[in-house]
Amino acid sequence: MGEYEINATSLRYIFEILCLIMYFMRKLIIGLAFCSISSLASAADNVDRQMMVDSVAENGTFRFTLDECLQYAFSNNFERQRMILSKKSAEESVEQAKAARRPNLNFSTGESAHHQGGDDRVTISGNAGLSSGISIYEGGSITNNIKRSKLEEEDAMLQTEKYDNSLSIEILNAYLNALRSGDALKLKSAIVGSSREQAEMGKVKYDAGSILESDYLVLEAQFLSNQTDTLDARISQHVNLLQLKRLMSMAPEAELSVVEPDTSAIEALVLLPSRDECVSKALQSMPDLKLTASAIEIAEVQTQITKAGRRPNVSASAGIGTSHRDFDDVGRQLGDNFYQQAGVNLSWALYDRGITKSRLAQSKYSKLQAELNQAQTELSIRQTVIEQYDNVKLAYERYKMTKKRCDAYAEVYKVYSVKFNAGSVVITDLLQQETNYISAINEYIQAKYALILNRKILDVYMGEKIMLKNY
């Protein structure tokens, strides 16, 4: 064979070395790919976690407006973080659906040893090959699978928006409760100061012999009762702040206080658009109705995917490879056994025992159900918005009434306090007026924050940003 002659043993060693090189190269490529993917996933996970960790300051001190409470919650609320992860998962499903259009590529290689009977000879054989395939026509199922995945991705985003609305209302309610309990605490603290002065005045009068001991003890008892009410108000404020921190996923031991908004022009809250305009805005902005419309589209796409089962599927494939048996003249074997193949495949389900027919009927019913849900959701939104619109009107009327009542009882209580100090009214009359005043101011506080809450809930329904600083 001249200068190019190679004996079988040398050729076998060369082939074994090549196989080892190919084996380690495959391992290296797979390892590098896995490390790269893991590093990217880990980096993304670390960024997300770091963003949550950085924004949650344990043992921190926070003084938040309503807008800051909402922003903190949107960044840190755990349930919302889970919904964002669901959205990212839906995005990956879209990419996975698109990948069905691309060709695949597979590599295979192997070596095997064979021994049979009493013969001492062991047969060594091996093969290696590359193959690829691509779908040419699949009845439109890939296209419709991509459409469905995109719709499900949009649904995940809409579900997050829906949760944001719900979370915003909960935070608004907790924030206003914290403000309301803070106002109540200020009121009760002022009452405690007043009742302390009354008890001290009663002590002076009792020592001077101008009132009975029983009257003085009534004043002392009222002072202690007002102190207890102040403690209850302080506990209520603490509980409301804890609820607000829970909604924001803030550490419970963090120090949180809320910024009091400017409510000097609270009457501006009732400058509402027309009721029909409120309903129209809610129908356009609320994600609930968009979700039902998406459900109808998904049902239609699912019908098309099911119909694809009745259509033919066409695919193409190609491959190259080679093989050897033992290591005798292995180079010639690999050359002689080298092959190439290409082909087109057609498959068509002619009869599937009525499975496709049944699935089409189920898709039809799913679409009808989605249409019913859409109609019901639209009616529910209309009813909810109209009811909320009326609630704002009623809350404003109650606010005006309680404000007048509170102002009147404040004047009466002031007059009775002066008369008591002058000795012209008895203690029971003074305490009765004090009770009336406390009741009136409590009702006023409740009505004020109920008006703000109802008005801002209507803003959420209309898709407007809720703020408490531009009254």
CA dihedral sign, ordered 300, 305, 311, 313: positive
pLDDT at 396 over 90: yes
pLDDT of 29 reads 42
pTM listed for this prediction: 0.76
Read off the pLDDT of residues 238-284 as tens digits, 9 standing for 90 and up: 999 999 999 999 998 899 999 988 777 787 888 889 999 999 999 99
Between these two residues, 235 and 429, which has the higher pLDDT value?
235
What are the helix and strand counts (H, E) for the chain? 10, 6
Beta strands 104-114 and 123-137, pairing class: antiparallel
Read off the pLDDT of residues 316-372 as tens digits, 9 standing for 90 and up: 999 999 988 887 887 888 888 888 988 899 888 888 888 889 989 999 999 999 999
Tokens of 461: 């329904």
Rounded to an integer, what distance in angstroms lies between the CA atom of residue 146 and that of residue 139? 13
8 A C-beta contact, residue 175 and residue 126? no
Rounded to an integer, what distance in angstroms lies between the CA atom of residue 199 and that of residue 292? 65
Please state the length of the chain: 471
Packed helices 355-422 and 287-307: angle between N→C axes, nearest 10 degrees? 170
- DSSP assignment letter at 323: E
* C-alpha torsion 442→445→447→452, nearest 10: -160
- DSSP assignment letter at 327: S
Tokens of 234: 């302080």
Read off the pLDDT of residues 374-385 as tens digits, 9 standing for 90 and up: 999 999 999 999
pLDDT at 57 over 90: no
Domain spans of the chain?
1-35, 60-98+140-313+353-461
Mean pLDDT computed over 31-43: 44
Between these two residues, 304 and 115, which has the higher pLDDT value?
304
What is the CATH architecture assignment of 60-98+140-313+353-461?
Up-down Bundle (1.20)
Map residue 314 onto helix, strand or coil. strand
